Amino acid sequence: MFLNIYNRNHSRNNLWADLDKLQEELANSFFKPSSLYGGTPSINLYQNSDEVVVTALVPGYDAESIEMNVVDNRFLLKGNPKKEQNEGYTLVREEINTSEFMRSFDLPFKINSERVEANLKNGVLVVKLPKAEEEKAKKITVKSE
């Protein structure tokens, strides 16, 4: 980031333009989504007694550019989108993150990888990760004598 030092010879209009530019640069560097997580998508996790649902924001990615793996209790999400080519145009400003990402995390239980379901719609990826049968809570019947 480049900061111009105030020069008394600048007109008042240039000072305000410089302040506007500085504010925009600061906002982009601190609040740009790709800078918050190193380019990884934001993820929410929900769970009930049978499964965990992962919701990831992946705008600009299609189903072919997303890869997922499940091993025991580890979930891995990768994305590598195709760069958009606009023939005859030069990119002037880029704020939409379309870089490769990888995200993984451990869950506190094993996943039944045979029954995992994933759906991508309008830039939102929803993955249902069913718990392995041995991880589900078992109801125990109490017998009376």
Q: Which residue has the higher pLDDT, 97 or 51?
A: 51
Mind giving me the DSSP string for 17-66?
HHHHHHHHHHHHHHH-HHHHTTTPPPEEEEE-SSEEEEEEE-TT--GGGE
Instruction: State pLDDT tens for residues 46-64.
Output: 999 889 999 999 887 889 9
Strand order in the sheet with 124-130: 43-47, 51-57, 124-130, 117-121
- Bridge partners, 75 (sequence order): 70, 105
- Kindly report the average pLDDT of the chain as a whole number: 78
pTM of the model: 0.63
Q: Is the pLDDT of residue 143 over 80?
A: yes
Q: Is the pLDDT of residue 82 over 70?
A: yes
